[in-house]
Amino acid sequence: MRDQAESLRLQLSRLNKKALTKAIAIISGKGGVGKSNFSLNFALTLSKRGFHVLLFDMDIGMGNIDILLGQSSHTTIVDLFERRISIQELIKKGPSNLSFIAGGTGLTKIFTMDQEKVDYFLTQLQSVSEQYDYLIFDMGAGISEDRLHLLMAVHEVFVITTPEPTSITDAYAAMKYIHLRKKDIPFYLIVNRAQTNQEGYETLRRLKNVMRQFLGKEVMKLGVLPEDRAVSKAVARQTPFLLFDSTTKISRAMIELTDRYLADRTVGDLNVSRPTSFFARLRQLLLER
């Protein structure tokens, strides 16, 4: 009953407050931390809460969102740039009314986004953006210069790490790289594959303190996701873990994390202000190039 009431409250809030489309980039400092699994299941949870979500697999040429969904995609985001296929033609429907665009695999050459491709991407993206409450960009591991403008234009950046020291170090390096170029971007921290809640929250505390001490940047602790064998089982079945079994530790933690994000926009220590247009930000950044 409490969950139903909370869900209703969130949906009424969305109807009563006409907001701009929210753009979120999800990054990690290194690969193998569960970033795409997080992106997919977070997007699904938002979609199950009644929001219209478009998930982009931006790990171009090495994408796996469609694989995790058990769907084959004959067209991918690469076709947007290489064949000028419209973005509307690339959008696929997943479960729970989730929309997504696949990143593609098996490219024979390294893909880069030059000025012309970015301009075309922006035009195409704006043509569909009003249909969605959230645009979620599952970025490739690490930070590349040709995707930096997209990262600096989004409203929020979610940073996925694990408790491993190398993962924490790489997550800090990624945030530092972005922060030194645009200091007002909000960072949300998520620890994945924590053996215990204590380990996860200690990792969040350490990373938050390091950002404050060395960069003078306050970041927001969004939550901890536990190590759970259900994830590997779900991946083997090519089913999002949220749909594979909604009662597992990882599914319950994902639902709690998402509802916390939706219900309290003062997550952590910061008050998150009403967003300005993602497209206005991106246009300005492109003009500054």
In this prediction, residue 16 carries a pLDDT of: 41
- Crossing angle of helices 249-263 and 35-48, rounded to 10°: 60
Question: What is the spatial distance between Cα 165 and Cα 167, in angstroms, rounded to a whole number?
Answer: 5
At 25, which helix (H) or strand (E)? strand 22-28
Query: How many C-beta neighbours within 10 Å does residue 203 have?
Result: 24
Answer for the pair 193, 241: CB distance below 8 angstroms, yes or no: no
Which positions of the chain have pLDDT values less than 70?
Answer: 1-19, 105-113, 146, 264-276, 282-289
Tokens in use for 86?
């419209």
Exposed/middle/buried for residue 229 (C-beta within 10 Å: 0-12, 13-18, 19+): exposed
pTM score, whole prediction: 0.86
Q: Closest Cα partner for 194 from 242, 231, 244?
A: 231
Answer for the pair 9, 17: CB distance below 8 angstroms, yes or no: no
In this prediction, residue 44 carries a pLDDT of: 98
Render pLDDT for 59-115 as a digit per residue (tens, 0 to 9): 877 788 999 999 988 888 888 888 888 999 999 999 999 999 998 765 545 566 677
Q: Which residue ranges form the domains of the chain, and what is each CATH number?
A: 21-287 (3.40.50.300)
